[in-house]
Chain A
Amino acid sequence: MKYQHLKIVLYLFLFISLVSTSLAQVTLDSVAVKCNYLYTFQEDSTNTASKKSEMTVLLIGKHISRFNTLNMIKADSVRAMIRKERDTRGRDYAAGLISSIPKTKFHFIIYKNHPVQKYTVSDKIFKDTYIYQEEIPEFNWSIKPDKKTVAGYPCQKAITSFAGRTYEAWFTTDIPISDGPYKFSGLPGLIVAIEDTQHFFSFQLTSLTKPTTQEPIAITTEKTISTTRKEFDKGTQHLKNNFFDVTENQGIKFDRRNTSLQQMLEKEKKSLNNFIEKN
C-alpha cells in the first residue's frame, strides 16, 4: 500500500523533470467510476445572458482522480483519428478534419492526488501546456440538515467557501467516495451537485457509470512546461492584456491601427470578467 503511494507520488513529482522526453503518457491509476457533470458558468457577471455550459468528466481511481471538459478528451480522440485518416486517406483529407476538432473553453486537467492532498493541474496559455501543483485546501465543509434527492441519489446539503465564493453542495453517502467536480472534495460521499450562492457557477451530475473495461487515468508528460500557480496566473493575465503580442509571436499579424478590432477585444475582455476562482 505504502509503496503504491510512493510510486504515485514519485510519478507526480518525476514527470515534471521529464519534460520533453519521448515518453508520452504515464498511467497513474485506473478508472473505478466515471461521472459526467454539466458545468454551467456565467462569463460576464453583469449579464445573465452570458451563461454557457459544457459537459465535464470526472474519472475516479483508487487514489487519483482526473477532471476535465468532455470536449478536451473528444479533441484528443479526434486528433488520433486524424492521424489515422492521414494514413489511409492522405494529408488533404486530414487537413480538412482539423476544423472538426471539438472546441472547449477550458483546457485544464485537474488531478487530485488524495494520498498527498495535492492537485496537479495542467492548463494551456494560448498553445503551450503548463503544469503546476497546489495544495488541496481544507474545505471546512459545514453539514446542513437539508436533504433531497438529486439525480436519483438521496443527498444532504453541505456548505463551504472556496477561492472567494460560497458554495452549496449536495452529496450522497450512497457513493462513499470523497470526491467531486472541479477541485471540490472532502465530503463523506460524492458531490452530486454544487453551485455558488450567486448562481454564477454550477456543476450537476448527469451520469455515473462504471467502466466495463480497464481504463487508465493517465497524464501526458510530453511538451508540458512545469511552473507554479503564481507564474501561471501571471501568464494568463499577460495573454489577456497583451493579446496582439502573444498572437503575433505565433505568426498571426494584425493591423494595430484597426480601432474597431481593438475595441472588440476590449469589449470581449470586459465581458470575460467572472472566473470560478476569484483569488
Chain B
Amino acid sequence: MRGTLFIIFCFFCSFTQAQHVIQGQVTDPAGKPIAGVSVWVESRTSMVTFSRSKEDGSFQIKLDVSLDSLVLKAKTMNYAEYKQSISNQSQSVPITLQPQATELREVVITNPSPVRRNGDTLSYSVDKFATKNDRVVADLLKKLPGITVESDGRILYQGDPIQKFYIEGMDLLNGQYNLASNNLPVKAVKDIQVIERHQPIRVLDSLVRSERASLNLKLKNGVAQTGTAKVGGGFNPFLWDVNVTPMLFTQKQQMIVSYQTNNTGKDVALDLKTLTVDDFKDNLTSLTRKQDLVRVQALTNPPFEAHRYLFNQTHLVSFNYLFKVKKYTELRLNASYLNQRTRQNGSTFTRFYTEQDTIQLYENKQNRQYAQTFEGTASIIHNSPRQYLENTFHASLTSEQQSGAIETGTRSINQNLHNPYYSFYNRFKLLKTIGRQVVSLHSSSFYTKTPQRLFVHSKGSDSTDNIINQQVLFNHFHTNNYASFSKKLGIIDLSQTAGFLFESQDFQSDLSYLNPFRSITNDSKLLRYKYYSLTESNFTFNKLTIRIKIPVSLWKLTLTEPYRFIAEPSALIKYTLSQVTDVRVNYSVSNQFPNLSYLYPNRVMKDYRTFQENHIDYIQRKSQIFYSGIFHVNTLKAVFANLTYSFSKTFSNVLPNTTLSSEGDLITIQTFQPNQTQSHSINGHVSKYILSTKTNLSLTSNAQMSLSNQVVNENYSSIRNYVWFNTLRIEQSFGNQLGLTYSLNRIDQKNTINTLNQGRYHSNTHQFNSYYNLFTNHTVSFSGEIYELSYSTTQTSNSFFDLTYRYTFPKSKFELEGQWNNIFNSRSYTFINNDTYSYILNTYQLRPSQFLVTGKFSF
C-alpha cells in the first residue's frame, strides 16, 4: 500500500513541480481506519484545498508551494476536529480522531418568499407585477408565478383550475368569470389574492380539507366604477365587433354589465361559459335544453369553427348583480339577453334507397333565423358554519322565427316556423352534518313549454298549391328529490342514494291541410312515477379493481300500466397485467323511456317532408353494452397502442314503419313490434414518436358492423352496415418557427338490405395545418382541407383553404390587432353525411375573405 502511494507521490512530483503532497491515514484511537473524513488545509484561516479519506482511511492533498501559515484539519461526524500546523513541504501526517458527539447547530429561517403570505392567503401586489402593456386582469394573471391562463380563459393555480373567482370576496359571476378577467382594468385592482386551501362551503370547513385554490381580486380604495371597451371594424361586407363592459363595486353590492355585438362570425357564447366545476352534478341544464318538435329543413353545419361559416348579426347584453343581505347570506342575479340573426345557404343532394328502387332528391336551401333569448338566474345562498343552503331559480325564454325557401327543381317550398321555448327550473341543496357523516338533500324541478308552429306552402311545377299548417304544444313538469350519504364497510366503499321522481306531460297538436281542408289532432296526457335506490360499491385488491353499481327502481310509466321493477346493474373490472399494460372489462344495462313528445298517436309534420305517428303506449329501449380493451403505454420506447372491442344489443318494443314517396316524403309510423339491433366495433390505435427527426406518426383503425331492422314501404328488411375508418396522422416541427400537421382520413362504407348490396362509399379527407412565427407579434397560419368522395358512380373533389395573418401592436392602454381570414376567398364547402337509408351530399356557403382591425381600451 505504502509502495503504491509512494509511486503515485513520485508521479505527481515529476508532473507538477509547483505542488507539494501531504498524505496520511485517518484512524480512531484504536488504529481502525475511518472513511469519508474531510481533510483540508487552511492558509491564514482560509481553506485552500481538501480531500476525503478513502475506505482504508488514506488521504492525499496537493498543495501549492507558494502558500504559508498552513494548518491541516480533519473533521467528520461524531469525532472531535483535528488541527495541526504544518510546514509547506511534501510529508506524511498520520491523523488520529478522538470520538466526540458533534454538536450540530440547528437553524430555521422563515419563508423568504417575495410574495406576501398571510396564513393560506397569497397576495400578489399588482403595482409590482403590472407593466404598461397590461390592460385587463387576464393580462396580468398570465405573468404571476404559479398562475396559468388557458386559451378559453380558464385560470389555473399550480396547474389546477381555480374553484371560485371572487371580487372583493363575493362570487358575482358564478363561474362565468371571463366577463371580469377580460374586462376589469388592471389599474382598478390593488392585490390579486390566491386562497390556497379554500373550502367554499363553510359547513365542511373543519371536516373536509381542501387544497383547491380560489382567486380573489382586491380593488383599490375608492374604486367604484370602471370597465373596458373594444371596437373593431372591417370588410367585406362591412364588419363590426364591439364590446362595452362597465362595472360597479361597493361594499354591499356589485354589478357588471356587458354589451357585445358583432357580424364577424364570432360566437359570443365563450364569454358566458362557466369555467368552474360544480361539486354536485345534476343534469338540469341538459334536461331543459331547447327541443324543436317541428323544424325547417336544415343544412348540417360544417365540421369546423363557426367563424368560417356563421353569417350572423349578434347582440348580447349580460347583467350580473350581487347583493349582500347579511354576513352569511347573499342574493345573486345573473341575466342575459341574446339577439341573433343568422342565415345559411347551401344545397343538399339526398339519395334514399329501399329494396325496390333508389330515390334521389336535390334541394337548394336558403334559411333565415331570428332568435331572441332571455336567460335569468336568481340565487339565494346561505353559507354559515352551521349549514349550507342554496336555492337557485332559472328561467329561459326564447322567441324564435325561422324561414326557409327550398327549390327542388319540380317544387318550390316556403317554410315558416315559430319555435319559441320556455323553461324554468329550481334547484335546492342542503348540507348538514350528522355526527361525522354529512348528509345531503337535493331537490330539483323543472317546467318546460314548447308551443311551436310550422307553416308550409309548396308550389309544384304544374302550379298546384299545397298549404299545410302544423301546431304543437308540449308541456313537461318534472321533479326529482333525493338524499345521499356514503360509508366504508370493511373493504367495501359504499354509497347510498334514495329518491323519487314525478313527471307530468301533456302533448297537443293540430295538423291542417288547406285544400281540401282536413285536420289531424292529438291530445294526450301522461303521469309518471319513479321510486329509486342506487347502491355503489368499490373494491380494490392489489392489481384488481372492481366497481359495481346497482340502481333499482319502481316505475309507473303510464297510469294504466302496473308498477314495474327495473334493475340496471353495471360492473367494471380493471386488471393491471404489467407496468405498461392493463386490461379493462365493462358491462352495463340501461333503460330509456322516451317522453310524450315521442308518443303522439296521430300524425304530426316534423318538417315539410317528414311526418310521424306513434301507435303505441310507451317506448322502452333496453341496452346491454359489453366493452373490453387492452392498453399498452411504453413512454420510454415512445410506443402507444390499444385494442378495444365492444358489443351492444338494444331491445326495443317499437319499430318505425317508414313510407317513402317518390318525391322524398317520409311518413314514419311507430308500431308495437319487438326487435333488436346489434353492433360490433373493433378499434385499434398505434403511435410512435421518432426522436431523431421529431416526427410523430399515428395510425387509427376502426371497423364497425351493425345489424338493424327497418320497415320501408311495407317491406320488412334487415340492414347490415359495414364501416371502416382509417386515420393516418403525421406531425412535424422545425424548431419553434415552423410546424406542420397532416392527416388523412379514409372511410369505406357498405350497406346491405336483405343481403342486397346498396353500393360502396369511399371518402378521403386530407387536412393540413401549418403555422409560421415571423417575428414577435407576427403570426401566419395556413390550413386547408381537401375532400375526395365517391359513391357508386358519383365522384366529387372539394378543397378549402384558410389563411390567417395576425399582428399585435404593443401599445400602452390601447391595443390594436389586425386579422385577415380566408385570403383565397373560398366560397363553399362540400361534405357527406348519412343515415340508415340515405346519403346526403351537402354544399355549404362559407364566409368570404375578410379583414378586421380591432382596438381595445379601458376606462
Contacts and interface: CB of A to CB of B under 8 A. Distances in A.
Contact of B633 (A86, A94, A241, A249): A249
A189 B694 CA distance: 44
Given A91-B486, A205-B107, A225-B579, A270 B736 contact: yes
A102 B211 contact: yes
Contacts of B689: 238, 241-242, 245
A142 B48 CA distance: 9
Q: Which of B46, B105, B436, B488 has the most CB of A within 10 A?
A: B488
Contact of A238 (B160, B494, B691): B691
A87 B488 contact: yes
Given A19-B579, A259-B781, A130 B436 contact: no
B143 interface: yes
A277 interface: no
Contact of B106 (A86, A94, A206, A210): A210
A99 B212 contact: yes
A188 interface: yes
Contacts of A199: none
A148 interface: no
B642 A49 contact: no
Interface residues of A, number: 85
Interface in B44-95: 46-50, 52, 73, 75-77, 81
A32 interface: yes
B160 A204 contact: no
Given A238-B635, A264-B151, A88 B493 contact: no
Interface stretch (B108-116, B172-180, B232-240, B818-826): B108-116
B769 interface: yes
B109 A178 contact: no
B145 interface: yes
Interface stretch (A7-15, A162-170, A229-237): A229-237
B158 A103 contact: yes
Q: What's the interface size class on B, roughly?
A: 35 or more
A114 interface: yes
Contacts of A174: 104-105
B107 to A, nearest CB: 5
A27 interface: no
Contact of B436 (A88, A176, A241, A246): A88
Given A53-B113, A143-B47, A235-B635, A177 B77 contact: yes
A188 B38 contact: yes
Given A33-B104, A51-B145, A208-B107, A237 B210 contact: no
Nearest to B38: A188
A93 B279 CA distance: 12
Contact of B151 (A141, A153, A209, A260): A260
B781 A49 contact: no
A230 B50 CA distance: 33
A125 B487 contact: no
Interface string B683-715: 000010101001010100000000000000000
Contact of B47 (A156, A225, A257): A156
Given A178-B52, A263-B151, A32 B145 contact: no
Contacts of A246: 633, 635, 640
B357 interface: no
Nearest to B696: A242
B46 A101 contact: no
A262 B50 CA distance: 53
Contact of A86 (B152, B493, B771): B493
Contacts of B145: 49-53
A279 interface: no
Contact of B578 (A20, A101, A153): A20
Contact of A20 (B109, B579, B694): B579
Contacts of A262: 741, 769
Contacts of B578: 20
A257 B636 contact: no
Given A86-B488, A128-B635, A176-B102, A99 B437 contact: no
Given A145-B46, A234-B691, A189 B38 contact: yes
A266 B781 CA distance: 14
B107 A235 contact: no
A53 to B, nearest CB: 7
Given A100-B210, A207-B108, A91 B50 contact: no
A188 B72 CA distance: 13
Interface in A179-234: 186-189, 204-210, 223, 225, 227, 231-232, 234
A88 B635 contact: no
Contacts of A32: 77
10 contacts: A86-B493, A93-B438, A103-B159, A143-B47, A188-B47, A207-B106, A207-B107, A207-B109, A238-B691, A242-B689
